[in-house]
With several copies, the nearest count.
Chain A
């Protein structure tokens, strides 16, 4: 579903990853590991199409990726249901019930999002993924602020998504209780020379 072929990503003019290659098939999840600052967020943003890869090719069906960032994109003046309905309308989903059920949000549906605790807000952010109906989930530390029960909910949602033929790419520092391959991005640190090259050959 998603293929990366020796992709390089830059952030603020510096190459942070180089030569990333992997393949993600339907029904498969891949956990991105790596210490802070190793470039997980940069890689996910590149795959989501928010920034161009500075080298290599990313192959995926267009508009097949649902991205969830560090920030949730929740509008605090709107209620939970209004937030999700907005995304549902945008992605052409028929309704939001499946999403509410997946993340146990029925009780909170009419709360303004500003009156949620950190973990509850995160659950709303994750519920958006279900609403997009896209096959590849690209998630950046999805379980931040979640309690154990919610992490289990999330793991179940991912498993269901995979069972339905989706795929998931998850950057995380904690154990999610999912059985999946994992990939340590720190292996793709650019060599000194590659960094030099991509960086400012034009200016020497």
Chain B
């Protein structure tokens, strides 16, 4: 499993960027939104929690597409399926690698980005905590979606169609926690719910995803 993890990280880095790329994408989304909605700081700071969370979501999404697809296309997935590693562990490892290259850097860099969108200062710790708790769920749910669509030639859009609705609860609680933080209200409830979703996803989805992979390899 460690071998698989290092291999995936190596591949992500060799393919250019790895850790930095998700950040750059996040930054771009955050720059684009003011271009769309206009430069008024008051509106921006009001929608900041939502935009930051939607941006994190999209950054995850864009790198999901190829999570299993490259392995499927070059035949490694078949070989991995016959290896001593259970497919469940494979899925979990892949999701972890994905989180390390997207969710984690996003969480760490969120401070800088929140300044750009004028997120009120008390919202910043809430944003970071909610991202730290919530992004693993994004990666895990995304891995499930990627497993479902692995055999398809142009899975990108279809994948987002499947995955985005599953992201809704995470998004709602995450953005809500940040908003409450920004308004200096207590954030315990949404954080707990967020944590529950993440734990649930990590506990159950590897099995579902492995089942989907098995079907797609058949």
Contact = CB atoms under 8 A, between A and B. Distances in A.
Whether chain A touches chain B in the assembled complex (some CB pair under 8 Å): yes
B11 A66 contact: no
A73 B84 contact: no
Contacts of A48: 82
Closest 9 CB pairs between A and B? A71-B75, A89-B3, A73-B76, A77-B14, A73-B75, A73-B79, A51-B218, A86-B7, A67-B82
A52 B217 CA distance: 11
Contacts of A74: 74, 76
Category for how many chain B residues contact A: 20 to 34
6 contacts: A50-B78, A50-B81, A50-B82, A50-B218, A65-B82, A70-B75
B4 interface: yes
A57 to B, nearest CB: 19
Interface of A: 48-52, 63, 65-78, 82, 85-87, 89-92, 128, 132
A72 B79 CA distance: 9
Contacts of B78: 50, 67, 69, 71, 73
A184 B122 CA distance: 74
Nearest to B13: A77
Given A71-B74, A91-B84, 20 more contacts: A49-B82, A51-B217, A63-B84, A65-B82, A69-B78, A72-B74, A73-B76, A73-B78, A73-B80, A75-B7, A75-B11, A75-B76, A76-B153, A77-B10, A82-B7, A85-B3, A86-B4, A86-B7, A128-B79, A132-B83
B85 interface: yes
Contact of A72 (B10, B75, B80): B75
B34 to A, nearest CB: 36
A73 B74 contact: yes
A105 B84 CA distance: 25
Given A51-B218, A69-B78, A91-B84, A77 B11 contact: yes
Contacts of B74: 71-76
A87 B76 CA distance: 10
B181 to A, nearest CB: 41
A74 B15 CA distance: 15
Interface in B54-93: 71, 74-85
B84 A92 contact: yes
Contact of B3 (A73, A76, A90): A90
A189 to B, nearest CB: 22
A91 B84 CA distance: 7
B149 to A, nearest CB: 14
Interface string B82-107: 11110000000000000000000000
